[in-house]
Structure 1
Amino acid sequence: MNSKTIQKKQVRPTAGQGFTLVELVVVVTIISILGAFALPKFAALQADARMAKMQSAVGSMKAAAAMAHATLVTRGHSGSFTGTPDPAIVIEGVSVTYVNGYPNAASIVALAGLAEDYVITGLTAPRVVAADSKHTGSSSANDCTVSYIAPAAANTQPSYTVNATIDNCT
């Protein structure tokens, strides 16, 4: 009888097996191309987020101004009252000072709850809040800020200006 002998070929792992230089260059090139497309989109998302943050600040200020005005009127004061009522009107721990029936700029920031999430110091008037410390509106251009101007006359409403665009919120 014939018996077949099976010989096994031993395969030994060689030290230092890894990627070839060509494979590494291809991977680095692909990552670079993806990064070139993703980076500008990421930068634009930051500007969009700052713009949305400033729109949110305006909404908060409008709601706070309407609430303070309504509180003033329901407490029996004139809708064009200026000053601090006696007794003082305190809303959410804030003693409100009025100008023509609406909160002044100092009161509106506290009423709207903007002090913690926005920059409120170092701004040039009439700007009241900025998105962050890099966008304070201190330059001559409007720089990703929101302005609040109390009414200049009786029976008028405050004005709000959102100085937030893609260009100045980047």
Structure 2
Amino acid sequence: MKRQNGFTLIELVVVIVILGILAVTAAPRFLNLQDDARNASLEGLKGAINGAAGIVYGKSAIEGKERKSADKITVDGQDLNVVYGYPKAADIDKAVQLDLTSEWKVANVSGATGTKKAFTLKNYAEDPVTKCYVLYTEAQSAVSAATVSVTECE
């Protein structure tokens, strides 16, 4: 009786074909790299907004304007409207020095008027009303800070 030491060529081809079919059907579900990249960009913008708001608040506190419901400070030669020391929603893009011509755009999110402003990726074709944006909410009182939240891409 002859002992078999390995796999036949047909067995190897069948296994390779099965693995190929699994890779084609299952891999795209696990490797959604575009949404991961968009979400990383949104998280980066959130960090930039938080950093800029913190710097503006520090400058407002130095000037004694952190308790006022409306005032102005000058940062990098630009006048910024502040609310309780934090940038007003209308001026947050100036505080962050955000480029609204090439990479980002203001998103039309319900409720994002007045005390809120939302940003989304300029090249994102989906409707930003329900997903994929960063929302900045200005401070509502002297004891509450401005907030930034991210609604991730799906």
Aligned residues: 130
Structure 2 unaligned blocks of 5 or more: 1-16
Give deviations 1:6-60, integer Å, cap 9, x for gaps. Answer: xxxxxxxxxxxxxxxxxxxxxxx89x85655554455x11111111111111100
1:139-154 matched pairs, under 5 angstroms: 142-154=130-142
Percent identity reads 22
**Normalising by the residue count of structure 1, what TM-score does the alignment of the two structures yield?**
0.63
Identify if the C-alpha distance between structure 1 residues 94 and 41 changes in structure 2 by more than 3 Å, giving closer, same or farther.
farther
**Do residues 119 (structure 1) and 114 (structure 2) align?**
no
From 81, 87, 91, the equivalent of 1:97 is 81
SS at 2:105 equivalent: coil
- What's the offset of the Cα at 1:163? 0.9
Give deviations 1:98-131, integer Å, cap 9, x for gaps. Answer: 1111111121122113334212153431351113
Distance 1:91 1:39 in 2: 46
Other-structure match for 2:150: 162
Other-structure match for 1:131: 121
More strand by share: 2
From 58, 67, 83, the equivalent of 1:80 is 67
Structure 1 unaligned blocks of 5 or more: 1-28
CA contact (8 A) 2:90 2:117 kept: no
Identify if the C-alpha distance between structure 1 residues 136 and 62 changes in structure 2 by more than 3 Å, giving closer, same or farther.
farther
- What's the offset of the Cα at 1:153? 1.0
Q: CA RMSD in A?
A: 2.6
From 43, 57, 61, the equivalent of 1:55 is 43
